[in-house]
Structure formats: C-alpha cells, structure tokens
Amino acid sequence: MTVTAEIDPAAAGQPVLAAWDALLAQVDAQLRALGAHPARSVVLLPYAQLLPVAARLWAAKFPDGFAPRFETTHNWATRCADFAPGPNDVSFDPGRDLLTAASLLEGAGLRQQRAALAGPLVEQATQLARLAASVPAAMRPDWMALAQGAMPSAGDGPLKLDAALARLAVAWAGTSDYASDVLFGPRVGAALDALLIAPGLQPDPLVLSLAEHYFEKTVHLPWPEPPPPGQIALHACMDAEDEAERAAACVLRHLHEGRAPVGLVAGDRVLTRRISALLATRGVRMRDETGWKLSTTHAAAGVVALLAAGAPRASSDAVLDWLKLSPAFAGPELVALERRLRRDAVRDWPRAAVLMADDEFVGAVEAVRASLQGTRSLGSWQDSLHGALRACGLWAPLAQDAAGQAVLGALGYAGDLVDVAHPHAERRLRLAEFTQWVRTTLEAASFKPPAAPAPDVIVLPMSQLLGRPLAALVLPGADEQRLPAAPEPSGPWSAAQRELLRLPSREELRQAQQAAWQLALAVPQVDVLWRQGDDSGEALLPSPLVQALQFQELPALVTQGMAPRLAHEVAATPVARPAPSGAALPVTRLSASAYEQLRGCPYRFFALRQLGLAEDGELDVDVDKRDFGTWVHAVLSAFHTALRAAPRPTAWR
C-alpha cells in the first residue's frame, strides 16, 4: 500500500487548505499595511507541527520575494539565544528538577519529608513556571508577590505541609530564569518589524504577554471559521479489543479508497498502541506525534527491574523478574533456581542468598546486587548502574534499540560515558532515592518511534487538529471516561487560585474541548468509536459530545457506521482426536483425591498424576486457611509430643 501524504497546494478545494490560503493572505496584507519587511517579521503559530505546513504553503502562494519567519515561542527563543538554566532554576527536566526540589526542601526545613514532597513540588513548580515564564524578568517579582497572595498562609493545621509546598513552588518558579526571557529583550525588539499571532484553541499566557510587550507591532490573525461537518460515522463497539480492531479497519478502508493522510486521535494511549500494532502488521506508514511514556517501554522495564532487585530487602519475585530480563543469566541455572525457590517457598531474597550461599549462580547474582548498595552521589550511582547493566547483559540491547537509546539518554548516558552537569548531583542518595529519580525521569520522558518520511497515518492529539490538512479522521475512545465534555483541571489549585494565577479554568478547558471537537467533525470523513463496556465489565455511555451529536438534526451527515472488517471464510480442517496412552506410566496406588480426579477428567489425571505436570507455586502470597491449619496442627503436635516426653501435673483451682 503506497499512499503519499504530501500536501498538494493546488488542492484549494479542501477546507483546511482554503483556511490556510485565507490566513496567509491576511499575513501578506498586514505586512504590506505595516510596511514591515517579511524577513524581519514573525508569525507565531500554536504548535511546531504547523511550521513546515505554513512554510510550504507560503512558498507555493508567494514564490517570489521574502517569506516571514513562522515560529512557535519555543523555536523563536531557541533561535535568538542559547539558554542554560541556573543552579536553582526550573529547567523543565524532571530528573534535574527532582534533585533541585530535594535541595530546596532541605533548605526550607523539610528534610524528613523530602522523599514524599519532592515529586509534588516539581509538579506544582512546573505548572507555575509556565506562567512565570510568560512575564518579563523585570516584572517577575510583582508576579511572585501576587501569586504568594493567592496561596494559603502557613499555619500549624493539617494543611501545613500543603501550604508550605505551594509557597515554595511559587518562590522557585518566581526566582528562576527562563529561555523565553530573551524574547522580551531590546535586541529582539530592535530586529522585529511585525509580530503576527495566529492563536491556538486555548490562550497562551506567553503569547498574550508578547502581544502586550510589542503592542505597536502586534496583529492578531483569527483563523477562519471551521467548515460545516463532514460525513460522520458512529461506531458502538463491544469492548476495547473490538474498538481497536474496528478503528484499524476504518483506517485501512480510508487508505484503500485513496483518502490520505488519515488522522488517528490519541486519546487513550493503550488503545492507540494497540491500533498502531494492528496497522503495522499491514505495512502502514505512520508518524506518531504524541508518543508514549518512556517508562512503559520494554527497555525501561529492564532498568527498573534491576534497581528493584538491588534493594537490600528485595523479594525473590523481584530478583527473578530481573534475571528473566537479563541475557547474562538466561539458562538452565535460572530455571533450577526458580524451581528451588518455589519448592521451598522462599519469599525474601536475602534469606535465599544465605540458604544457597555455596551456589556459583547465586554468587554471581549477589555480586551484581552488591554493586548497587550503599549511599553515593548521582554520578557514582550512574557509574554503578552502568556497570550493573553491563554485568547482567542489558547494556548492549539497550544501546542497539531505539527505545533503549532514549532510556540511556534520559538517564544521562552519552555512549559509555556519564554526563553529569547538575549542581546538586553531588548530593548523596540512597538506592531508594536514586530509584525514585530514575522512575520520575522515565515517567516524564516520552518515546516517539522513528517516523516514516511520507506517512499514511498521523497519530495526534485532538487539541492539535487546528490547521491540519487531513483527508479522513478516526477518533477512537469517544466514551464518557476518555472524552469528557470538560477535562479535569490539573494541579491542586482551587477555582479562585486558578483565576488569580491565570491558569485555565474549567470553562476555558470546556470551550477548548468543544472547539477541538468541532474541528474533528469538520474533517471530510470522520469515524467516531467508543466501547460500550469497560475492562471491569461495567457499562459505558458515549461521550456527552457524541450524545449531543446524536440528538442533532443531521441525518444526512451522521450515520451508524457499518462494520469495516471483512469476513473471511476458513475451510474446516478437522484433525484426529488425541488418544494419549498411559501404558508406559503405570499408576500403582490411587488416593481418594486422585480417584476423584480420574473420574472428573481423565486428561487432567493423565497430565497431573502420570506426567507429573504441576503449576509453579507463588512466592509472594498471603497465608490461606490451609496454611493456617497446617501451622495449628504442627503447634499442637509439638505440644503433645513435648508433654508426653515430660509430663507435668496440672494445677486446678
């Protein structure tokens, strides 16, 4: 299947391309009206994926002359100056910020609570830092004073820690420097003739501040109204697997009928990965613009399993999980070790290491675990982790895998070297703190698989449909849980605090969600899918947005989607009934339970009693009634045996 996804500028009949044509005409007219040179003018777009689209369409519409600079605020700041965060600045790097947060908590007298509060502090400070970065550096003290006034006062009540955490987050965000500070500088202003702003679906505080700062040179360019809805097909699916298969079939049908590129909305990452896997088996070229958390990759699982197995009081299950992922320990020794651990029900690995101290295989395992003990600096921990990964054979697979390379890069490895450039990297950490740092770093980072040069399918969030020329759209996950009418605001802030801090309110989030929904429906061909039942078996309703669509009077546009999957007839190929023989495995004795098992299912009796097959027992399980009864019988037996050996008179009262 070969379908090009390149945009044809001559296809002005497509609604989105017509909107782009009108927007670029506004840009040209405003530049002429302001007498601004295009090369000294900036057109701010809401997100980076629109930059190549705008540049390509401008070159097609105005092939002669200069072109304005199409930028986002991030790209613009990066072009203007190289920025390196200071020792205590919010860097938006979760691993680095986690160490800074721990240091700030110690300085604030919260050393005992740093392990529990470091993560929430980073989360709150990151949200506030995006607001503080939208304010010129000279005005940031005023913003910090206003933000501190919105925070609860520190007291001795049950919310004392919450108040202290909020105030510390404000102080951290308000005293940091940011890459966007250069955009308010005189050098950028002197080189700017015009600032043209094409807004996104939700107001951007930094863009609004830049518009106020350069008010004499700023022009707001409204996007044209979205076109009327296209052809919409609604698909009610039974469960998650049915939804994934239907969505993949819808994508394949659009590509087969010549509609490309197809947009696939990533509202549920688990569902999206399942759909992507189904499409990959059919050779569909994809570009995933959202990715997924690095912590969910197989590469990250191996690193985290190693650290969990290195804990001083690691469980036997944790050590076995790591060993099964380690190429250096794969072999019959591992099978024998697991069989012995399960036979003897050794739950804790330290006890197992003592019981099998003379085993060479266990000695090799303990040598790797010993390298992860103690307290040391972050750089030393990274060196130890590097050595442990090499010793267990995990380093080479990580270095050869795309996701593994992303994991190593996120953890500060540049090839075989450790890149430690953090002022607080010399703080001494325990293994538990280093493990938390690794988990936080991998949880915050995203992995995007390599994209095809001319993709047939573009995976994107619904909030980034603005200005995207798509021939068709498949929107799975449109149920009441995954597509609410108003997304839940993030962070611990109240409605009053959100208003004072200029954080988006619930109403603004609802309006942005509604605008994105209208853009989704405006794609010429749309498939909306939702599941009627969750994994737990509970019934699910379609999203309120879908329910509102069902009640609208659009019978010509909204239809019940036909099953896109094609039925295939499979020829019956019966096989002979199995006829196992137990003549070579005679049974000499039968217990009552074995005889009952023979009567109930001869095949089960053959597998369990004659072949000797049995399910491995679990290591980490709670004591059940049978174990408790065995223990009681053992106690009573020991008591009566001792009493018989040394009888004592009973004192009656």
Same domain, 300 and 267: no
157 part of a folded domain: yes
- Higher confidence at residue 305 or residue 422? 305
Same domain, 66 and 208: yes
Over residues 602-609, mean pLDDT = 86
Same domain, 299 and 410: yes
579 part of a folded domain: no
- Quick one: DSSP state of residue 533? B
Same domain, 324 and 428: yes
State how many domains the chain has: 5
Domain boundaries, position 631: 587-653
Same domain, 213 and 241: no
Band of the pLDDT at 652, cuts 50, 70, 90? Answer: very low
pLDDT on residue 159: 73
The two structure tokens encoding residue 37:
């040179």
In whole angstroms, how far apart are CA 418 and each of 378, 384, 386, 421? 10, 11, 9, 10
Band of the pLDDT at 184, cuts 50, 70, 90? Answer: very high
8 part of a folded domain: no
546 part of a folded domain: yes
Same domain, 185 and 172: no
| Domain final residue pick, 196, 220, 244 | 220
CATH number of the domain where residue 267 is located: 3.40.50.300
323 part of a folded domain: yes
Query: Which of 188-192, 537-541, 543-547 shows the lowest mean pLDDT across its residues?
Result: 537-541
Mean pLDDT of the chain: 86
Smallest Cα–Cα separation from 209: which of 73, 384, 12, 15?
A: 73
pLDDT tens-digit series, residues 110-168: 888 888 888 889 999 999 999 999 999 999 999 999 988 888 776 655 678 888 888 99
The two structure tokens encoding residue 132:
């503080």
The two structure tokens encoding residue 549:
């669509």
pLDDT tens-digit series, residues 574-584: 888 877 777 78
- Record the pTM: 0.81
| Domain final residue pick, 195, 220, 245 | 220
Query: Which of 114-128, 312-326, 363-377, 490-504 shows the lowest mean pLDDT across its residues?
Result: 490-504
Over residues 279-291, mean pLDDT = 90
6 part of a folded domain: no
Same domain, 98 and 73: no
- Is the omega angle on the peptide bond into residue 87 within 30 degrees of 0, that is, cis? no
pLDDT on residue 10: 38
Same domain, 488 and 418: no
Same domain, 404 and 436: yes
188 part of a folded domain: yes
Same domain, 483 and 618: no
Band of the pLDDT at 622, cuts 50, 70, 90? Answer: low
Same domain, 418 and 302: yes
Tokens 């010399």 sit on residue: 426
Residues whose CB falls within 8 Å of the CB of residue 515, separated by 6 or more in sequence, listed in order:
201
